[in-house]
Amino acid sequence: MTAATRQEQLAAIFKSATVIPVLTIERVEDAVPLARALVAGGVRVLEVTLRTPVAVEAAKAMIAEVPEAIVGIGTILNGDDLAKARALGAKFGISPGATPELLKAAAASDLPFAPGIATASELMQALAAGFDLVKFFPAEQSGGIKALRALAGPFPNILICPTGGIGEANAASWLAEPNVVAVGGSWLCPAADIRSGNWAGITAMCARAMKSLKPA
């Protein structure tokens, strides 16, 4: 897969998503019912973060048992994490930031990948490595929509998935920006709902969000 094809594939996944839930899974047994609840609410593109000891097993279970879900791996910090995501059968990878080593490993991999950036210099490094779709993180804390517009000035062709501080109240404002292909956030699956197994509540929240955020 060429770098351009890989980026086109990632852009298609993100554009189809609108909202990508950022999932931090504490118990493996929650993985499949959570994925099914999200898919039932119209949310198919999922980011499982490598933030817990069970993250890999949780992602593996989702990929095996919920084929309608498009499962990606988040919180990729190094080449080993990238290789792990690829071996799992993940459809894409996302990082909160990007070291030169990670960008090099990602450029050599055929896994569609979005490096994290927060500044113009970081964005330039990502572009130099062949990545024109990036995660803007932490979005609100890094200056919000004003900062995104400032970055889009000298880099008009970048595609962005902002994550960090985005929720039901401001997701539509971010999605209205021409460079934004999707937003990431954890508000669709609150930790309390996951812990209590409130799958119907998560499905209802997803359905409401997808209805209100889908472009006309």
Give me the pLDDT at residue 81, please: 98
What value does the mean pLDDT take over residues 150-177? 97
Give me the pLDDT at residue 215, please: 58
Query: Is 80 exceeded by the pLDDT of residue 1?
Result: no
Give me the pLDDT at residue 216, please: 42
Give me the pLDDT at residue 83, please: 97
Nearest CA to 23 out of 194, 186, 205 is that of 186
Query: Is 60 exceeded by the pLDDT of residue 184?
Result: yes
Q: What share of the chain in percent tops pLDDT 70?
A: 99
For residue 135, give every residue at least 6 positions away whose Cβ sits within 8 Å of its Cβ, in sequence order, or none.
Answer: 94, 95, 96, 114, 115, 116, 117, 160, 161, 162, 163, 184
What the chain holds in terms of domains, given with CATH numbers, is 3-213 (3.20.20.70)
- Residue-wise pLDDT tens digits, 70-102: 999 999 999 999 999 999 999 999 999 999 999
Mean pLDDT, rounded, of the chain? 96
- Predicted confidence band of residue 2 (pLDDT cuts 50, 70, 90): confident
pTM > 0.85: yes or no: yes
Residue 10: both structure tokens together: 């990632």
Nearest CA to 19 out of 132, 198, 190, 180 is that of 180
Q: Which residues are catalytic?
A: 47, 135
Query: Cα separation of 56 and 70, whole Å?
Result: 15
What value does the mean pLDDT take over residues 178-200? 96
Query: Cα separation of 106 and 3, whole Å?
Result: 10
Give me the pLDDT at residue 110, please: 94
Query: Is 60 exceeded by the pLDDT of residue 123?
Result: yes
Give me the pLDDT at residue 3, please: 84
What value does the mean pLDDT take over residues 44-62? 98
